[in-house]
Structure 1
């Protein structure tokens, strides 16, 4: 039939390395990293690679996630180097804590 929308989707672990780029104790809310690159996962979804070493899926699935720019190569390229609030760093996650 279809996916049960009431079921919680658990995102796969997305940590590649630790880095001082992501400062957790900065006191400014969410830590900021920079976008280094994009790649596609095995399902064809776009993943952003961050300067802090973390990765995050950036899906375009309207109406829940509206990111049409992620589907366009030129628009993705324009975002390289831009600041990105890393959700993993905001949670204090690193390679050691996500492996559990």
Structure 2
């Protein structure tokens, strides 16, 4: 616990700041429906959030942050445009779908 606290302090974070999470649903699209054969979703694109972190847009309609914050999260490829393009169309196991999250934005 002390190590995490020291790391947060050294990164200049306001420890009293409440982290506000946005809903993890992309805008409605024709592809925003569950795969009937339970295949993983695929990455359809990327965008950056208001803090500059990369977010994967998934074929199921959900989104997933893909941060590169070593040593906690090592995804250096998200910083390289060419490597992000290579990931489009690749399978991606959506954690929201695995939890059975259903939304009005997704077909049943």
TM, length-normalised to structure 1: 0.74
Instruction: Count the aligned residue pairs.
Output: 88
Q: Specify which of 60, 77, 83 is matched with residue 75 of structure 1.
A: 83
- Greater share of residues in helix: 2
Matched, 1:14 2:28: no
Q: In the alignment, what sits opposite 2:68?
A: 60
Unaligned runs of 5+ in 1: none
Unaligned runs of 5+ in 2: 1-8
Per-residue deviation at 1:94?
2.3
Matched, 1:87 2:101: no
Please list the CA deviations of residues 6-55 of structure 1 after superposition, one character each: whole Å capped at 9, or x if unmatched.
Answer: xxx6743211345123x5x84xxxx6100000000111100000000000
Check the 8 A contact 1:47/1:58 in 2, yes or no.
yes
Question: Following the alignment from structure 1 to structure 2, what is the Cα–Cα distance between the partners of residues 90 and 47?
Answer: 18
Q: Structure 1 86/10 Cα, relative in aligned 2: closer, same or farther at 3 Å?
A: farther
Q: Let me know the Cα RMSD of the aligned residues.
A: 2.4
Bigger-Rg structure (1/2): 2
